[in-house]
A and B are shown apart, each in its own frame.
Chain A
Amino acid sequence: MAYTASPPLDATTAATEWKPPDRGTVGIASFIVAETALFAIFVAAYLFYLGKSLNGPYPRDVLTVPVTATICLLSSSGTIVMAERALQRHQTGPFRLWWMLTTALAAIFLVMTGMEWWKLIRHDHLTVSTNCFGSTYYGLVGLHASHVIVGLFFLTLVLLVSFRGFPITTQERRIKLLSWYWHFVDAVWVVVFTVVYVIGR
């Protein structure tokens, strides 16, 4: 409310100093907030039903800690950073290599999840409809896996495109957004892992 006698800014300085954040970054950050809320509810459901199943199998009987898969997924966060670095330096070769590694690690994770499910269904007879543990387990892990699948799809897409000779170095911004998403998928796994395999057993 105080009277200020600051001289008027002239239009051009205002325009050059004006640097709003990149819209892609804001967009993906908002998207991640929404995704977090989605996962939070599945996590809440899992925790809510811990120990409330009326019949077996129970988590401690059938779950084994997926060490290898976890290592794969978490290290893929590292490799994607390396790929990004390579891209920043416009080194297409190393970029492809790191990116391939990321894709492979993601694929391995997914295969291992598949194997775990196979064992649970075939051997332990745990399905979504067996008990509340089954519903919440497949719900939560499945939601995460579906995000890995989406991620894998885009990772593969980039890989194909870059091998087809597309000037991938022009896509630094988009690659960055994709890697944000991938880091998010990893971070969610840390939560899922803790909830399902550490607390839940």
Chain B
Amino acid sequence: MASVSHHLDVPESQPESSLSGNMYRWVSTVDHKRLGLLYAMAALLFFVIGGTQATLMRMQLAVPNNHLISPAMYNRLFTMHGTTMVFLVGMPLLAGFANYLVPLMIGARDMAFPRLNAFGFWVFLFGGLLLYYSYIGGGALYGSGSAPDVGWFANAPLTENAFSRGTSTDYWSLGILVSGLGSVASAINVIATVFSMRCPGMTLARMPIFVWLMLVDSWMILIALPPLSAAQIMLTLDRHVGARFFDTQAGGSALLWQHFFWIFGHPEVYILIFPAFGTVSEVIPVFSRKPIFGRQAVVAAAVAIGFISTSVWAHHMFAVGLSSVTNTFFAASTLLIAIPTGIKVFNWIATMYGGKLRFEVPMLFCCAFLFQFVVAGLTGVMLGVAPFNFQLHDSYFVVGHFHFTLVGGFIFGMFAGIYYWFPKATGRMLGQQAGRWHFWLFCIGFNLTFLPMHVMGFLGMPRRIYTYAPGRGWEVWNMMASIGVAFQIVGLLFFFYNVIRSLRSGPLAGDDPWDAWTLEWSTTSPPPEYNFETIPVVRSSRPLWDLKHPNDPDWRYG
């Protein structure tokens, strides 16, 4: 790695440390790193809220015929839990990681459109608050405040005026519409940044895999999110000006909503898993001390997943009574996705093979990710086999499947990322010991919660039920699942404790604590506002390796 002398005039930042001054700097910031952290902090806050909702649901379901929570409240809980976790935890975590890391990894000083970036964050936050305002303002029957209770995919016609009076569904629709705007804005920004802001020598072929995945991810967002927005606009027209898009009482179609939603919804789940894929693709090589195995294959597989994922949506609709030809087509395309995904999994394992594995906390999360994601993917394959899906659809098996992908995959991947990049963002290391406690408790709790759900599904337990009668063989499994949550909570408390303690007194990290190879580790921790004092020039996909091994640089190969 060399560097071009694009020197910056750095204004000496005034050491203004008053609280209001600090607040003002965060609120008015257009710096991609601060926005990235804002996104991540908002996501963690919503994660605690969504997790609390989940905890309440698990308490209700721990025993049969429980009267802890009323049916109406339970229905709001799972709707808000699902919506929160997907739109207010998943999307902002993704945006946070992308914002923080993409410019650093490609040697840029900021995103392409810093102000659009800030706009994206505040719009997202506003959408989230709008959704949560429904708890206060969403007058349901009898004028009592209430949150939406239509499920996270809000099937029509349950969302139509006839069945969902009051305004709670409008909060769902508009809150997500608005926060979706933020996601599209940040996707445009990532794409423009990746194409236009790379430092000299950073060809597409040399880009870190994380950046590649964020690029593909942003494309998917561009294509997948507007259909949801369109459907939400239609729903709002239905509810407020009497349009009939999904109004089955007046000739509208109930299935059209499902098609529109899942045209968004399926790519969305890959949108969510990609940041985890990206993180794993950065962490595993560093902790195996080897370059990623089959770079091109990993990238090509991501692009393939992006393409295939746009044509599998109806696998969420196998049970609605589509023709057998349609079902066969969608089953086939669904199963095909296993191949590029498998390529990725195998390449990660091959990267570890022959390396010198250091099982530090980020790597632990990556290993758990691998096991859990393979389970999740294979249960996905089981669901993709349409005739089996007729049984499994809308049962707890599905709940098990998608928590394995979303928690076992996405959340574990993101924890790997947090442990890995926290030193870069804050200058301090997260505690190893507390990190291990967090990992093991969360891992055990996670499996204890979500493995039994597969069995509940086999035993015919439908999802989204607020209670169930005793004697159907579901009690043990539900109890196990609920106990698991306790482990998860303790694990997560270790995490929060670790973060707070390390922010104050964690050991100093230095520029490059993991002995890593991508550009973000070449600047200080935390990076200065302008990221790089001089714009770097790179000649391979591992610029810091080249620097550290002048006798055997990467650019000599391939």
Is A26 in the interface zone, CB < 8 Å from B? yes
User: Could you tell me how many residues of chain A have their Cβ less than 8 Å away from some Cβ of chain B?
Assistant: 50
Closest-by-CB residue of B relative to A17 is B200
**What residues of chain B lie closer than 8 Å to A48, measured between beta carbons?**
253, 256
Q: Which of B197, B224, B226, B234 contacts A20 (CB 8 A)?
A: B197
Q: How far is the CB of B406 from chain A (nearest CB, A)?
A: 24
Is B325 in the interface zone, CB < 8 Å from A? no
| A44→B118 CA distance, assembly (Å) | 33
Q: Which of A2, A17, A23, A134 contacts B112 (CB 8 A)?
A: A23
* Stretch touching chain A among B138-146, B238-246, B340-348, B386-394: B238-246
Q: Which of A31, A41, A132 contacts B260 (CB 8 A)?
A: A41
Which B504-558 residues sit within 8 Å CB-CB of chain A?
535, 537, 539, 555-558
A15-B200, A18-B200, A27-B112 given; A34·B251 CB < 8 A: no
Is B493 in the interface zone, CB < 8 Å from A? no
Closest-by-CB residue of B relative to A37 is B226
Q: How far is the CB of B4 from chain A (nearest CB, A)?
A: 4
| A35→B237 CA distance, assembly (Å) | 19
| A54→B253 CA distance, assembly (Å) | 12
User: Could you tell me how many residues of chain B have their Cβ less than 8 Å away from some Cβ of chain A?
Assistant: 54
**What residues of chain A lie closer than 8 Å to B112, measured between beta carbons?**
23, 26-27
Is B230 in the interface zone, CB < 8 Å from A? yes
A contact patch SS: helix
**What residues of chain A lie closer than 8 Å to B231, measured between beta carbons?**
41
A1-B558, A139-B243 given; A37·B251 CB < 8 A: no
Q: How far is the CB of B102 from chain A (nearest CB, A)?
A: 13
A41-B230, A54-B251, A139-B243 known; 16 other A-B pairs, CB under 8 Å? Answer: A1-B557, A3-B556, A8-B539, A11-B537, A14-B2, A27-B112, A30-B188, A30-B218, A30-B222, A33-B223, A37-B222, A37-B226, A38-B227, A45-B234, A54-B250, A134-B243
Residues of chain B having any CB pair with chain A under 8 Å: 2-4, 112-113, 116, 184, 187-189, 191-193, 195-201, 218-219, 222-227, 229-231, 233-234, 237-238, 241-245, 250-253, 256, 260, 263, 535, 537, 539, 555-558
Q: What are the 6 tightest A-B residue pairs by CB atom distance, in nearest-first order?
A: A129-B242, A41-B230, A23-B196, A38-B226, A135-B243, A37-B226
Residues of chain A having any CB pair with chain B under 8 Å: 1-6, 8-12, 14-15, 17-18, 20-24, 26-27, 30-31, 33-35, 37-38, 40-42, 44-45, 48-49, 52-54, 127-129, 131-132, 134-136, 138-139, 143
